[in-house]
Structure 1
Amino acid sequence: MSAAFFLLLSVAVLLGWSQASSARGLPDFTELVEDNAGAVVNISTSSEPKGGNSRNPGMPFDERQLEQLPEFFQDFFRGPQSPFGGGPGNSQPRRSMGSGFIVSSDGYVLTNNHVVEGADEIIVRLNDRRELPATLIGTDPRSDMAVLKIEDGDNLPVVKVGQSRDLKVGEWVFAIGSPFGFDYTVTAGIVSALGRSLPSENYVPFIQTDVAINPGNSGGPLFNLDGEVVGINSQIYTRSGGFMGVSFAIPIDDAMNVFRQLRDDGSVARGWLGVLIQEVNRDLAESFGLKRPRGALVAEVMADSPARDAGLQAGDIVLSYDGDDVELSSDLPPMVGRTPVGETAELRVLRGGEEIELQVEIGRLPEQGSQQASAPSGGSGGPGSAPLGMMVEPLPAEMADSLGVEGGVVVSSVARGAASEAGIRPRDVITEINRQKVTSVQDFREVVRALPDGKAVSVRVVREGRALYLVMKP
């Protein structure tokens, strides 16, 4: 044989070895699925129609969204055998499907609140095809969680609960659930990001993955490669109604805290600080003397709140909470929410260019309202002319009373200029510029005259009853 033949043979062997090595480097989920599928359940609910022609709450799509799906899926959701009751507005009993998992051998099951919301009957189906009725123990809409108890549950298979705090971005995870009613479907991917904050959820630092999640997966477990549950699959980001590569799961550390409270007390108590916060962007960081954007800017401190009692002020930037850095404003609500009511937390805040420490005794989040929320967004204003491109007037006493502010000026008009570029609008009430209080038109004029040229300065406004900080460059 020629030397060329041996060379080609050697190259082929090396390529085959390389490909085999690469294949061996990928995770094998077969044993993990076999070991854990028994504790994953399918959850089906039914509820009697309450009248009217509203959308079936168990239906994951409205009529417009259904029309955008392929015909196969339209038939699945609308057909007479549909597990969702035949489509929106149907007078038949409404049905919903989802997933869940067993966390105790006596039958406690975790799932999403939206899977069982409004249900009159809940049936849990195991992978050995047993169908068992379940009782709703409690729900927590704020975290979209529900706890069920399988009736006559005894010696049931259970999942192994892990710790979501140990997750790393990029590690492999997999899900087991029932998308579109296809029981025990396994999908896999990686952790895309941690600590995601969604507009609808202030208190859950979501795990973002690229694991395929679709209607019916809700409430099912997210596993790591040790076969431990690290999250509850809850939401997806989509423009089509189906999976687009961005899925969100509730961290199991937070979920188990909610589970224990619902099981033992029937309700969930969350920590409450009592502030309105907003993100610190580059311009705000410059105006407050920060080298880079970080922290949570306090736009408003609520009356009779733990924050007010602790001496927290509007304009403070919370840099750390109980020793943990606050990089984004969305980091703060979950930190506070996880703190037991009555405990004392230490806040490090930036005030007037100096860092100070405050001790705050955490209260209980009221049933209605929220502990922290995003401040309203800025926008452009109307015509007018004045220094900075806006005109102001004295704040009427009745307006001050209705907004709960002490002093300030009301913006009467906004023209092109620094004010409009900052997002100041007519009827905004200005209470502070460049960290200087503004209680009257005279104060406003004096503060404006002293503003440095070309440097970003903060402006605190009250808009529709909510305070926020804007950045203006004179």
Structure 2
Amino acid sequence: MNAVWKSWVAGAALLLSAGWMAQAQASLPDFAELVEDTSPAVVNISTRQHQKAGRQAGMVPGMPDLEGLPPIFREFFERSIPQVPPQQRRPQEREAQSLGSGFIISADGYVLTNNHVVEGADEIIVRLSDRSELEAELVGTDPRTDVALLKVKGNDLPYVKLGSSSELKVGEWVVAIGSPFGFDYSVTAGIVSAKGRSLPNENYVPFIQTDVAINPGNSGGPLFNLDGEVVGINSQIFTRSGGFMGLSFAIPVDVAMEVADQLKAQGKVSRGWLGVVIQEVNKDLAESFGLDKPAGALIAQVMPDGPAAKGGLRDGDIILRFNGKEIVRSGDLPHAVGRVKPGTSASVEVVRQGKRQQLQVTVGSLPDEGEALVAQAGGQEKRSNRLGVVVSELTADQRSNLDLKRGVVISEVTDGPAAVIGLRPGDVITHLNNSAIDSVKTFAEVVDELPKNRTVSMRVIRQGHASFITFKLAE
């Protein structure tokens, strides 16, 4: 009887397990129809870039490349190879190719891809799913978002349906189609891991993070939702090996289409700009500025005569909302500002000295890349203090070079709190414990009144770049 009972239990367990597996399999999406419908609009992109060969341009054509040999052997062989007379020499070119992906967004042949797929190309070839090849014209690129718009000649071309990345939810299934390592029309699937990701040196794209397998060659390809709509452009991966490691990033299609529309209309992209240097608000900074929890973007520096300065924003303001959008992290601000048309008036909610204020700022146009604030600081010793620094007044030249109206410059750092928090000679202190520092006297008075065992903030300018730091004075 016991053996019969065990057999019945085992059978029941097997049936339950099989039923659970069948139910689980039934709940998984079937991507076959989606891929069949959308893949004709996905394209492979190859480029050719003609690079001039350097040192062997005067040698006989067809001779082997000697660049990889050790110098002593290379020099020996070069002496042995007959040289072409200067009047008969022709510059040699080497052809470089790259492979990427893209997708057609209109029946008349507009194609979206990544800027880094076509950057520097002399010729761009778009290959369709039927293996036909079309030469593409580069309409325009936007390196800041890594988006490029191409145009091929054709009528009634297959094109994708565009979705809304703003409606995408974390945990939702997504599908990528592309050409990883040159394997055309490879399909991978996964889920949305996160939204609004800020990556280093990528200030204007709130990336979609997924666990979809993306590898070199997938760049520029579409990311689909289960309705077969494009919600992103696969752009970057996080890797230590050069291959997929579970972290992939896509440009939201809403951002990409805003860029594409501007490229189509005017060949370039203009985006909003405030003219501020910002930093993250951590727990200590939140405490020092009177916030209940870390939130917003802390203005470390307001650019002189910029939109923020003209709108009344100040160093030390914490922006909590911009144009109706909540700023949870500092990285949210560039995304929000960049999408505002220059010349538009925007509302800004800030915390200033513990109180909330509403300001109106006319958004400016983002300057060209490469513009930077360059400055140097120096000075003569005037007075020491309990922080362990020797400070002096800013000279007229320093005020002019740094474009500052206030502050004191550190000429020496002795043992004490200043050394612990990393202050250096040449640093300029403009604010301390939420008080503006306009002289050595003011600085000394504020230092004397600093509380003990409580987080204190300090605004420091180093080599033209401003940031807030925090510290505590022990008993």
Q: State the TM bucket, normalised to the shorter chain.
A: 0.7 to 0.9
Structure 2 equivalent of residue 250 of structure 1: 251
**C-alpha separation between the residues in 1 aligned to 2:177 and 2:272?**
33
Structure 2 equivalent of residue 387 of structure 1: 386
**C-alpha separation between the residues in 2 aligned to 1:469 and 1:146?**
37
Whether 1:320 aligns to 2:321 is: yes
Structure 1 equivalent of residue 466 of structure 2: 467
Amino acid in structure 1 at the alignment position of 2:441: Q
Compute the displacement of 1:129 (Å): 0.9
Structure 2 equivalent of residue 396 of structure 1: 395
For residues 185-200 of structure 1, the aligned pairs below 5 Å read: 185-200=186-201
**C-alpha separation between the residues in 2 aligned to 1:234 and 1:420?**
42
Compute the displacement of 1:454 (Å): 1.4
The answer to whether the 8 A contact 2:384-2:391 is kept is no
Deviation sequence 1:155-180 (CA, Å, 0-9, x none): 01111100000111111111000011
For residues 16-415 of structure 1, the aligned pairs below 5 Å read: 16-52=18-54, 92-151=94-153, 153-369=154-370, 386-415=385-414
**C-alpha separation between the residues in 2 aligned to 1:347 and 1:263?**
31
Deviation sequence 1:60-117 (CA, Å, 0-9, x none): xxxxxxxxxxxxxxxxxxxxxxxxxxxxxx9630111100000000100000011011
Amino acid in structure 2 at the alignment position of 1:24: A
Structure 2 equivalent of residue 447 of structure 1: 446
Q: Secondary structure at the match of 2:38?
A: helix
Structure 2 equivalent of residue 437 of structure 1: 436
Compute the displacement of 1:214 (Å): 1.0
Compute the displacement of 1:4 (Å): 5.0
The answer to whether the 8 A contact 2:52-2:94 is kept is no
Amino acid in structure 2 at the alignment position of 1:115: V
309-318 vs 386-395, which moves further: 386-395
Deviation sequence 1:358-389 (CA, Å, 0-9, x none): 01111211223579x9xxxxxxxxxx985122
Q: Secondary structure at the match of 1:388?
A: coil
Deviation sequence 1:47-67 (CA, Å, 0-9, x none): 1014459xxxxxxxxxxxxxx
**C-alpha separation between the residues in 2 aligned to 1:279 and 1:4?**
62
Compute the displacement of 1:22 (Å): 1.0
Amino acid in structure 2 at the alignment position of 1:239: R
Are residues 11 and 370 of structure 1, via their aligned partners in 2, closer, same or farther at CA, if it must alter by over 3 Å? farther
**C-alpha separation between the residues in 2 aligned to 1:190 and 1:155?**
32
**C-alpha separation between the residues in 2 aligned to 1:50 and 1:259?**
32
Structure 2 equivalent of residue 81 of structure 1: none
TM-score when normalising by structure 1: 0.86
Q: Secondary structure at the match of 2:94?
A: coil
The answer to whether the 8 A contact 1:315-1:435 is kept is yes
Are residues 255 and 436 of structure 1, via their aligned partners in 2, closer, same or farther at CA, if it must alter by over 3 Å? same
Are residues 425 and 6 of structure 1, via their aligned partners in 2, closer, same or farther at CA, if it must alter by over 3 Å? same
The answer to whether the 8 A contact 2:317-2:352 is kept is yes
Compute the displacement of 1:397 (Å): 2.6
Amino acid in structure 1 at the alignment position of 2:136: A
Amino acid in structure 2 at the alignment position of 1:243: F
Compute the displacement of 1:455 (Å): 1.3
Compute the displacement of 1:413 (Å): 2.5
**C-alpha separation between the residues in 2 aligned to 1:188 and 1:254?**
22
The answer to whether the 8 A contact 1:297-1:315 is kept is yes
Amino acid in structure 2 at the alignment position of 1:304: D
Are residues 395 and 51 of structure 1, via their aligned partners in 2, closer, same or farther at CA, if it must alter by over 3 Å? farther
Compute the displacement of 1:7 (Å): 4.1
Q: Secondary structure at the match of 1:92?
A: strand
300-309 vs 226-235, which moves further: 300-309
Compute the displacement of 1:26 (Å): 1.5
Compute the displacement of 1:6 (Å): 4.3
Task: Compute the RMSD of aligned alpha carbons.
Answer: 2.0
The answer to whether the 8 A contact 1:421-1:472 is kept is no
**C-alpha separation between the residues in 2 aligned to 1:200 and 1:101?**
26
**C-alpha separation between the residues in 1 aligned to 2:117 and 2:308?**
36
439-448 vs 351-360, which moves further: 439-448
Amino acid in structure 1 at the alignment position of 2:128: L
Deviation sequence 1:329-348 (CA, Å, 0-9, x none): 00000101111222211111
Compute the displacement of 1:415 (Å): 3.7
**C-alpha separation between the residues in 1 aligned to 2:315 and 2:234?**
37
Amino acid in structure 2 at the alignment position of 1:129: R
**C-alpha separation between the residues in 2 aligned to 1:15 and 1:368?**
60
The answer to whether the 8 A contact 2:114-2:146 is kept is yes
**C-alpha separation between the residues in 1 aligned to 2:229 and 2:420?**
51
- Paired residues, number: 426
Percentage identity across paired residues of the two chains: 59
TM-score when normalising by structure 2: 0.86
Are residues 300 and 312 of structure 1, via their aligned partners in 2, closer, same or farther at CA, if it must alter by over 3 Å? same
**C-alpha separation between the residues in 1 aligned to 2:406 and 2:13?**
81
**C-alpha separation between the residues in 1 aligned to 2:306 and 2:436?**
22
Amino acid in structure 1 at the alignment position of 2:197: R
The answer to whether the 8 A contact 2:385-2:444 is kept is no
413-422 vs 449-458, which moves further: 413-422
Are residues 284 and 421 of structure 1, via their aligned partners in 2, closer, same or farther at CA, if it must alter by over 3 Å? farther
**C-alpha separation between the residues in 2 aligned to 1:112 and 1:418?**
48
Q: Secondary structure at the match of 1:387?
A: coil
Compute the displacement of 1:5 (Å): 4.2
The answer to whether the 8 A contact 1:272-1:362 is kept is yes
Compute the displacement of 1:444 (Å): 1.3
Structure 2 equivalent of residue 67 of structure 1: none
